[in-house]
Structure 1
């Protein structure tokens, strides 16, 4: 079954927890997760946070106990171009608004309205129950107010906009240089408004965004979610 993604969620493969983290799943739930957001579907285990620094601390804790986050993946093309590509191995950071924030080939992400969720495997999640913390309701996701882009360095995680957004901004900057308004004061007001609008959009996500990783298309999304608390 899929697991709910709340604000900024760290998703870990259960198999890696059982074989690596001290105390297995019991230790992970009781020691590692510092709040009441734990949930699992038996394949994925999650912990959610409102602030990027807390995400960074949690990921660091997991790494200190043997779980692997981003590991270099080399191929001939990358070596020729001098690039170092990293892929999420045991755990991945997932943003409620934008999905996986790291290059990850073992997780799927979907949304239905304000509800975000992820799952592992090729089987469609349609009609399957949604694993979530006991206190969670769909309304909680609608009113979620978290920080998706501030205090990043304090948490050891880097934010980056999607490549298409970066290209659009670059094109806009080029146009503004070629056709700059004569009235600098008016130009300043326009830039301030544009920046505010861009900030309001909030279209950013944590970590290194893998352009090759596509979020699932519209036809793959859950059509009927049945929220349930995680079995004790």
Structure 2
């Protein structure tokens, strides 16, 4: 089943969490730094808005026993997680996921899913014909907003930091928007 890949996502193999993360699944869930987690039972996605927060989470995952961009493939044959950009897809080589833009009603949603089968030809490979979609609790496609980096300075005005969120005024939508600070 696809998991949402909005903004910058760290996508972790659930079996790696069970095998290598100190304290296993329960401890992993307790230590997630924000409410963006979703899972299909095979992959676990945690989303971030800023690359420095992604790096902090990568460092945390590695300190808890997971492997990323390993130099010695003899220890573990594959990475336990991958960073996925909602526009470009996986930021490093990863042979165990597929990424694509999926139709979700009238919208297109970036998502990835576990696929370890034989890849025949080009295009997206799906393990099943019917796809359900995993997203964070209370997420809707109306929450989707992509802004080109060059628009940020002209469209958004920083207002304040409140309860772990940076609050900006969106001059186009005429409303406050919130970005997690962690």
The alpha-carbon deviation at position 22 of structure 1 amounts to 2.2
Residues 1:72 and 1:7: Cα distance change in structure 2 (over 3 Å): same
5+ long unaligned stretches in structure 1: 75-86, 148-195, 197-232
CA RMSD of aligned residues (A): 2.4
When you count helix as a share of all residues, which structure comes out higher?
Answer: 1
Rounded Cα–Cα distance in structure 2 between residues aligned with 1:22 and 1:133: 24
Partner of 1:101: 91
Give the superposition deviation at 1:19. Answer: 1.1
Other-structure match for 1:165: none
Q: Helix, strand or coil for the counterpart of 1:62? A: helix
Q: What is the deviation of 1:124?
A: 3.9
TM-score w.r.t. length of structure 2: 0.67
Distance verdict in 2 for CA 1:139–1:126, change over 3 Å: farther
Q: Distance in 2 between matches of 1:88 and 1:130?
A: 25
Q: Which residue of 2 aligns with 1:25?
A: 25
Structure 1 equivalent of residue 112 of structure 2: 118
* Aligned-pair CA distance for 1:146: 8.2
Whether the aligned pair in 2 keeps the contact of 1:38 and 1:48 (CA below 8 Å) is: yes
Q: CA separation of 1:146/1:9 partners in 2, compared to 1, >3 Å: closer, same or farther?
A: farther
Of 133, 157, 169, the residue aligned with 2:136 is 133
User: Is the contact made by 2:22 and 2:65 (CA closer than 8 Å) also made in structure 1?
Assistant: no
Aligned residues between the structures: 135
| Higher relative contact order (Cα pairs below 8 Å, separated by 6+ residues) | 1
Q: Which has the larger radius of gyration?
A: 1
- 1:23 Cα deviation after fit: 2.3
Contact 1:88 1:103 in 2 (8 A): no
Judged with a 3 Å threshold, the aligned counterparts in structure 2 of structure 1 residues 51 and 126 are, in CA distance, closer, same or farther, namely: farther
Deviation at 1:88, TM superposition (A): 6.1
Aligned-partner Cα distance in 2 for 1:127–1:59: 32
Residues 1:9 and 1:146: Cα distance change in structure 2 (over 3 Å): farther
For the residues of structure 1 that align with 2:2 and 2:134, how far apart are their CA atoms? Answer: 6
Task: For structure 2, list consecutive stretches of 5 or more residues without a partner in the other structure.
Answer: 118-125, 151-182
Q: Distance in 1 between matches of 2:8 and 2:78?
A: 16
Which residue number corresponds to residue 158 of structure 2? none
Name the structure with the higher strand share.
2
Following the alignment from structure 2 to structure 1, what is the Cα–Cα distance between the partners of residues 129 and 88? 20
* Preserved CA contact (<8 Å) 1:2 1:130: yes
